[in-house]
Structure 1
Amino acid sequence: MLVMPWLWAVFTVIAAAAQTARNALQRSLTERLGTIGATHVRFLYGFPFALIFLGLVHLAVPARAPSVSAPFIAWTLAGALAQIGATALMLAAMRERSFVVTTAYTKTEPVLVALFGVVLLGDHLTGWAWSAILVATSGIVLMSWKPGTEQSLRPAVLGIVSAALFGLASVGFRGAIRTLDTESFLLAATTTLAWSLFIQTAVLTAYLAVMDRPGLMTIFRAWRPSVAAGFLGAFASQFWFLAFALETVAKVRTLALVEVLFAGIVSGAIIKQATSPREGLAIALIVGGVALLLSLG
């Protein structure tokens, strides 16, 4: 299947934009549904859309459904469970710090995901690629840290652990995609998405049914605002998985740092507030690192 070499970058930017909108919607649901409830929304209401995406791909791609193997289930299960934990910790951090700062904490992920990818998947990165990842990530650290103000350790720890789990989830999903015996990256990515959301929906529904049945009923009753979050979550994941099917997780998640700029726009921090020299330097480092990464092909 002929694929343009830059297509993964297009998929990543689309995914980052959709995920920013999804995170904003999930954050608004946290006060009403709690951290676990708001986490479950993206999976429960996203799963039907994943099945729709899979059906559309099967109609568009003249290829048989790939067979599911034990390694595929193992990789998908690992990625799905890591993503549940990562999302819950991210939303918990957002309850204590701003939307932009929490997003920045979670975007310390690229260095971690690069290491995970090399160790677990055997991904190869050049010295220039490592440089691009470090430059962009340093911009994230600079943006999230404000000298002269009291820094709370708890949201920072929550955000960074969330980043590590998001990194493991990305590696798990790319590992699952690579086990499928199909030449269609569209089919491999969408099949993996459907399975991952099925696992996540089953796990969290069972957990809430036992531990917090009233909370589960509240999630069902809050279907109107939750459907939008579920759709955006599935839509964003669809494009993340397409990018993972074409490129290393390290490159995908480094380019995904543009999400911090999108988060700033959504929160009004970039539009309504003057950018300080420190923030300007941070943005320049992020953009510079991403540009270097893209120039490497």
Structure 2
Amino acid sequence: MELWIPITIAAAFMQNLRSALQKHLQGSLGTRGASFVRFGYGFPIAILYVLFLHLGAGQGLPDFSGAFFIWAVVGGLAQIFATMLLVHLFSLRNFAVGTAYSKTEPVQAALFGFLILGEKLTSGAVIAILVGVAGVMMISMARMPLSWRNMVAAMTSRTALIGIASGGIFGISAVAYRSASLALDGTGPIMSAAVTLACVTSFQTVFMLVWMAWKDKREIVQVLVTWRSSSLVGIAGILGSACWFTAMTLQQVAYVRALGQIELIFTFIASWFLFREKTNPMELAGCLLIVSGILGLLFW
């Protein structure tokens, strides 16, 4: 098994855990505060990770370039706004369906990867990704009669558009992060991913602190008051991001993000057992289609 596969599965699990904790926090912190804790409580761990690799494992630090910082800022900003859209989406639909809407990301990531990095996919991989997207469409229509009119209505509804926008911006951030990591010279993929993560999360923390201080200083106070639960979001988020960054340094973004749809399995489990949310047979069928797309991606 190629190394990027178990790393991506671990990333998907940690991302689902982080999203579940963010959904829980949204009521007390709001969308901006619940999004901030992912970065604010995570960046010290990212810096410690780099120091461990450098001082403990003896890995050298990379050579920086202007292209790295440009891609890091683009990816960091895109991830902030994509996260805020996703957290807001949780208040419009249940946890599982809200997450599913954003899972059009692999197709959008593949498009961005082709346009920006010139990455190409096999015909089998394209089919597998489209099967996964069909599953997302099925989930979006799970609570209405099946018809072309309802399909158009479902995919153009406010919740669907927010979810698709979230997936698209996450796709941009993923391609930007891979570009940033590949722009670092003089070190291996693990250190490149770790340095990219540390730089990006530090920038995101400063950016969001300034934003919250400008908009509403009380949000910063709430983030500090809820430090116990907020720090868990940060830990889960930074561990997941470390895995994502490493996997995307090792493999094309479209493949990593498509396999990352396995997160929906973890999402349905969390939705059922943690939030006591009900899912209907069509939603489960859509989840199975997504899983089929994942398996097709791995074996084609």
Name the TM-score, length of structure 1 as normaliser. 0.93
* CA shift for structure 1 position 76: 0.5
Per-residue deviation, 1:295: 1.3
What amino acid does structure 2 have at the position aligned with 1:170? A
Q: 1:61 to 1:119 in 2, by over 3 A?
A: farther
* Secondary structure of residue in 2 paired with 1:268: helix
1:167 aligns with 2:171: yes
1:225 is matched with 229
Alignment-mate amino acid for residue 191 of structure 1: V
* 2:113 corresponds to 1:131: no
What does residue 157 of structure 1 align with? 161
Aligned-residue offset at 1:282: 2.2
- Residue aligning to 1:111: 107
Matching residue of 2:217 = 213
Structure 2 counterpart of 1:96: 92
The one-letter amino acid of 1:132's match is A
Residue-by-residue CA offset, 1:11-65 (whole Å, 9 max, x unaligned): 1100000111110101111111110011111010011111121122223543321
- Once the two structures are superposed, residues 167-191 of structure 1 have per-residue CA deviations (whole angstroms, 9 ceiling, x without a partner) of 0000010000000003411100000
In terms of mean alpha carbon deviation, does 43-52 or 265-274 score higher? Answer: 265-274
From 197, 200, 216, the equivalent of 2:201 is 197
Calculate the TM-score normalised by the size of structure 2: 0.92
Alpha-carbon separation, structure 1, partners of 2:287 and 2:162: 23
Contact 1:108 1:141 in 2 (8 A): no
Does structure 1 retain, via aligned residues, the 8 Å contact 2:193–2:245? yes
SS at match of 1:73: helix
C-alpha distance in 2 between matches for 1:173 and 1:148: 38
**How far 1:284 moved relative to its partner?**
3.1
- What is the count of residue pairs matched by the alignment? 291
Residue of structure 2 equivalent to 1:255: 259
TM-aligned CA distance change 1:94 to 1:280, over 3 Å = closer
1:73 matched to 2:72 = no
1:12 aligns with 2:8: yes
Unaligned runs of 5+ in 2: none
Moved over 4 A (4+): 149-152, 269-275
State the partner residue of 2:289: 285
Indicate conservation of the 8 Å contact 1:61/1:187, yes or no.
no
- Compared with structure 1, are the counterparts of its residues 272 and 166 closer, same or farther at alpha carbon in structure 2 (3 Å cutoff)? closer
Moved more, 129-138 or 189-198: 129-138
Q: Select the residue among 14, 36, 41 that pairs with 1:40.
A: 36
Cα RMSD (Å) of the superposition?
2.0
Q: What is the CA distance between 1:281 and its match in structure 2?
A: 3.5
CA 1:56 to 1:177, structure 2 compared with 1: closer, same or farther past 3 Å? same
Q: Within 2, Cα distance between the matches of 1:136 and 1:226?
A: 32
SS in 2 for 1:68: coil
Q: Provide the secondary structure at the position in 1 that maps to 2:119.
A: coil
Q: Please say if residues 60 and 187 of structure 2, whose CA atoms lie closer than 8 Å, have aligned partners that are also in contact.
A: no
Q: Distance in 1 between matches of 2:183 and 2:37?
A: 28
CA distance in 1, matches of 2:96, 2:225: 29
2:184 aligned with 1:180: yes
Is the CA contact 1:79–1:172 (under 8 Å) kept in the aligned structure 2?
yes
Partner Cα distance (1:46, 1:90) in 2: 19
- Give unmatched runs, 5+ long, in structure 1: none
